[in-house]
């Protein structure tokens, strides 16, 4: 099998998913956010009740400190997050979603559920688990490659 085809197909699928969200029925309501903003809103929302810091976002999304700082600053300017001081360490700022972000999260969740159902349509549970394990293995391969450099 042509190994170049796997990367191309993953890229193509990623583009199709991104376009779906760019033109979703809720796009007008969530126009102020980028795709990355949406992923970060979801990440923080899914961990409600836990303190989330910039470092958590860097680690989860495998992005650099400067990228995370820039994205979070823009999200703060858009009124999507607040950075709140933590009592035990004045240097730490936890990331808190604003009501605006929570409203957007609800709309995004509707679109995401529809996309997820579409992606796995026609797959058995076993096929989905196998696919997820393959994707995880690819991510591990890339991580290993990056560590070698």
For helices 99-120 and 35-45, angle between their N-to-C axes, nearest 10 degrees: 100
Under 8 Å between Cβ of 36 and 58:
no
| pLDDT at residue 82, rounded to an integer | 97
Per-residue confidence band for 84, with pLDDT thresholds at 50, 70 and 90:
very high
Work out the percent of the chain whose per-residue pLDDT is above 70: 92
Model confidence at 45: pLDDT above 90: yes
Question: Per-residue pLDDT for 22 more than 90?
Answer: no
The pLDDT tens digits of the residues spanning 124-136 come to 999 999 999 999 9
Higher per-residue confidence, 11 vs 29: 11
- Which domain, by its residues, includes 92? 3-148
pTM: 0.65
What's the structural domain count of the chain? 1
Tens digit of each residue's pLDDT (9 = 90 or more) over 46-69: 999 899 999 999 999 999 999 999
Distance of CA 35 to the CA centre of its chain: 8
CATH number of the CATH domain containing 87: 1.10.10.10
What are 29's two structure tokens? 């309501």
CB-side neighbour CA atoms (13 Å) of 18? 9
Percent of the chain with pLDDT over 90: 67
Question: 85-114 burial by CB neighbour count: b if 16+ within 10 A, else e?
Answer: eeeeeeeeebbebbeebeebbebbeebbee
Q: What's the confidence (pLDDT) of residue 68?
A: 96
Those residues whose C-beta lies under 8 Å from the C-beta of residue 64, and which sit 6 or more positions away, are 58
101 vs 88 pLDDT, higher one: 101
């Amino acid at each position: 099998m042509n190994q170049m085809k796997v990367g191309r197909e993953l890229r193509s699928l990623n583009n199709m998913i991104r376009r779906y969200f760019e033109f979703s029925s809720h796009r007008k309501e969530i126009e102020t956010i980028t795709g990355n903003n949406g992923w970060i809103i979801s990440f923080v929302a899914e961990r409600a009740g836990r303190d989330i810091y910039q470092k958590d976002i860097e680690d989860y999304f495998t992005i650099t400190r400067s990228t995370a700082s820039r994205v979070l600053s823009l999200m703060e300017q858009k009124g999507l997050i607040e950075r709140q001081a933590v009592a035990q360490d004045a240097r730490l700022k936890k990331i808190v979603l604003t009501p605006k972000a929570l409203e957007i999260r609800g709309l995004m969740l509707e679109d995401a559920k529809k996309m997820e159902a579409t992606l796995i349509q026609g797959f058995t549970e076993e096929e989905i688990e196998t696919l997820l394990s393959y994707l995880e293995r690819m991510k591990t391969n890339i991580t290993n490659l990056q560590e070698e450099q």
